[in-house]
Amino acid sequence: MVPGRRDNTESSKWLLRVVVGGGCVKVVEQRKAKALKGDKSRSYQLINPDNVGSRRFMITLVEVRPGGSTPPHEHRTVESMYFILEGRGEVPSGRSGRGKTVGAHTAVYFPAGSVHGIRNTGRTKLVYLSCHAPPYEIEELYRHWREEEFVTTGG
C-alpha cells in the first residue's frame, strides 16, 4: 500500500495495479534450478512462472563455453535483455548479420521482434543473465533449436 493512500493500490509512471496481500519471497538457488542444454551452453531457469509464479518477466542464467552460442532468434511480443557477468561475446546488430562485441558489466537491450542471440568469442566461459518480459515458453524454443536454424516465437 502506498503511504497516504486509503485504497490498496500501488502506482508508478508505468502501471497502476492492485496489491493483494503482498505475497511470499521466493529464493531459487542455481544448483536447484532447471537447466536446459544448448550449443555448448547451459541455461538455468532462475525466475519463471513455473517455479516462482512470475507473471511479467523471467530470468535465466546462461553459461556458454568458448565457441558455443545462444542461436539468433526472435520473439514477436517479448522484450529481452542480456547482462554480461563474465567473458566476451558477440550479439547480432539487427538483421544485417553484423555483430557487436560485448564484455563483462554490459547490458544489451533487444526490443520485441528484434533478432537476438549471443556467441562466445572469448577463450573463457561467457556467463550472462537473460531477462525477458513477459515470460515465454523457453523449453519450446530449445526444442525448436534442435530442429531448425532460426526460430521466431509468438511470445
CATH of the domain at 57: 2.60.120.10
**pTM metric for this prediction:** 0.75
User: Mapping DSSP to helix (H, G, I), strand (E, B) and coil, where does residue 114 land?
Assistant: coil
Q: What is the pLDDT at residue 72?
A: 83
The C-alpha angle 118, 120, 124, rounded to 5 degrees, equals 145
The answer to the question of residue 101 being in a domain is: yes
Residue 88 lies in a domain: yes
**R_g (Cα) of the chain, nearest Å:** 17
Contact call for residues 27 and 20 (beta carbons, < 8 A): no
Indicate whether 12 belongs to any domain.
Answer: no
pLDDT at 115: 84
pLDDT at 16: 44
CA distance 131 to 57: 7
| pLDDT score at 142 | 60
Q: Quick check: is 10 in a domain?
A: no
Does 97 fall in a domain?
A: yes
| CB 108, CB 132: distance < 8 Å | no
SS3 9: strand
CB hemisphere CA count around 121 (13 angstroms): 13
**Prior bond to 72 cis, omega within 30?**
no
Which pLDDT score, from 0 to 100, does residue 121 have?
96
Q: Map residue 31 onto helix, strand or coil.
A: helix
Q: Residue 145: give the domain boundaries.
A: 24-153
Q: Is residue 31 part of a domain?
A: yes
Three-state DSSP class for residue 147: helix
In a domain, 19, yes or no: no
CB atoms within 10 A of CB 78: 21
Number of domains in the chain: 1
In a domain, 13, yes or no: no
Yes or no: say if 43 and 130 are a contact pair by the CB < 8 Å rule: yes
Q: Flag residues of the chain having pLDDT under 70.
A: 1-22, 94-97, 135-136, 138-155
**pLDDT score of 9:** 46
